[in-house]
Structure 1
């Protein structure tokens, strides 16, 4: 009656974890640096909330997934 259960596997091969971690963290850090440079160089009157939110969201997503893949490549399965 019961079908044979299939093991849960990652949609991304484990060999890609270190590479994905490196590139995602690099993109996230560049986006974070861009955000800080924007905040430091643009006057308060000329700032765009949309640009701040979009840059912050991109940095957050890439740093979050980069951290995830860094932990996975180190053997900490979350």
Structure 2
């Protein structure tokens, strides 16, 4: 029995579209983080909200960058 080659669960043709959407969502969440930091006073800030917003933005920007690199031919 021959082993099956490892393949991506996502078609290669969707990588550019996926990277644009993930990067756009990450940039929107990052912008909301900066707006929250600029408009809230020091007394009203929440560490949990800051950490979750930063983590969500980081995940979307990280995966968006990964798919952008793969779509442009840089296999990481």
Question: Deviating runs (4+, > 4 A) in structure 1?
Answer: none
Q: Residue 61 of structure 1 aligns to a residue in which SS?
A: helix
d(CA) in 2 for partners of 1:47, 1:75: 42
Instruction: Give the superposition deviation at 1:50.
Output: 1.1
Among 11, 14, 19, the residue aligned to 1:13: 11
TM-score normalised by the chain length of structure 2: 0.96
Instruction: Give the superposition deviation at 1:5.
Output: 1.5
d(CA) in 2 for partners of 1:71, 1:11: 17
Superposed CA RMSD in Å reads 0.6
TM-score normalised by the chain length of structure 1: 0.94
2:12 corresponds to 1:25: no
Match of 2:48 in 1: 50
2:66 corresponds to 1:68: yes
